[in-house]
Structure 1
């Protein structure tokens, strides 16, 4: 049996809506850019993926982004950082 994902569970327990789809898409983007899942060990209690990203941005984007996407030693770091911030 496949694991129940947030969006599947949401659809089963509540009325499906466009806003729910947009929220799930936003969480998926955060997972992709941060390289973390909402179930990772660093997220416990009140600290959730969404809260962690919101608190870090825009000042600490290098703490949020997966290191495969942005490193301080990268050529044209400032340009890449601006691109990710947008």
Structure 2
């Protein structure tokens, strides 16, 4: 993930192939840095993120996670 990410942030998944349903949503539940939970991480730092969501088991290398604006319906982002 790039940029500043925060606990509670929602993401949608974009794949190089169009075989993924358009309404994929994932939630960032926890950020861990050096064995401690933190509320956010910013560049150039790194951390382990813990995501949840129905599509989590289908994530593969190459998937692109994009942050969703707070409260924005995913349909508004697909234009």
Structure 2-normalised TM-score? 0.25
- Structure with greater strand share of residues: 2
RCO higher in structure (CA 8 A, sep ≥6): 2
- Structure with greater helix share of residues: 1
